[in-house]
Amino acid sequence: MSRVSQPLRVTAVCSGNICRSPIAEYVLRDAVDRAGLAHAVVVDSAGVGAWHVGEGADPRSVRVLRAHGYDGSGHRVQQITRSWFDRPGAPDLLLAMDSGHDAALRRMAPAADVRLIRSFDPGLTGVADLDVPDPYYGARDGFERVLAMIEAATPGVVAHVRTLL
């Protein structure tokens, strides 16, 4: 299918789609837009669990995003399921926030392109633990740390996306 008629779809995935993956979605969407690729790439996010479907992102995620110039206030939680891969517009690239999400996505869609988002951070070559830690049970500094990790990986994600177009 031509990318002209079907944009590339990149989906960031975490547990409940309220902390890590919304941060990744808005950071990546901004980077794709700044790279002039918004016409060819759709960025979204989802959770492997359904606990928060329809809700907004965790307020701490929204505050950290806002403090760094991103607007995540319109986020609505969705759950990724096997049915996503049976429809037009299925994700072309899945960005897992941790190894548990990576394993769940690989079970759900064995043929899908699943990567740990931090595998795109050039400063982490040879690092064994590429997980983005879940900040849910912690304080704001955990959300700041998540944002920094995602921002560090974002240029590599955008470079990879260019190779897929």
Q: Which residue, chain included where needed, has tokens 């950071």? A: 27
Task: State residue 1's pLDDT score.
Answer: 41
Catalytic residues: 14, 20, 134
Task: State residue 4's pLDDT score.
Answer: 52
Using one digit for the tens of pLDDT, what is the confidence trace for 23-44? 999 999 999 999 999 999 999 9
- Positive or negative torsion for Cα 24, 26, 27, 33: positive
Residue type, 112: A
Question: Domain ranges in the chain?
Answer: 8-164
Task: State residue 92's pLDDT score.
Answer: 97
Task: State residue 126's pLDDT score.
Answer: 82
The mean pLDDT of the chain is 95
DSSP string for 81-141: -GGGGGSTT--SEEEESSHHHHHHHHHH-TTS-EEEGGGG-GGGTT-S-------TTS-HH
Residues of the chain under the 70 pLDDT cut? 1-4
Q: Find out whether 119 and 152 touch, Cβ atoms under 8 Å.
A: no
Q: What is the pTM of this model?
A: 0.96
Among 3.40.50.920, 3.40.50.2300, 3.30.2270.10, 3.90.120.10, what is the CATH number of 8-164? Answer: 3.40.50.2300
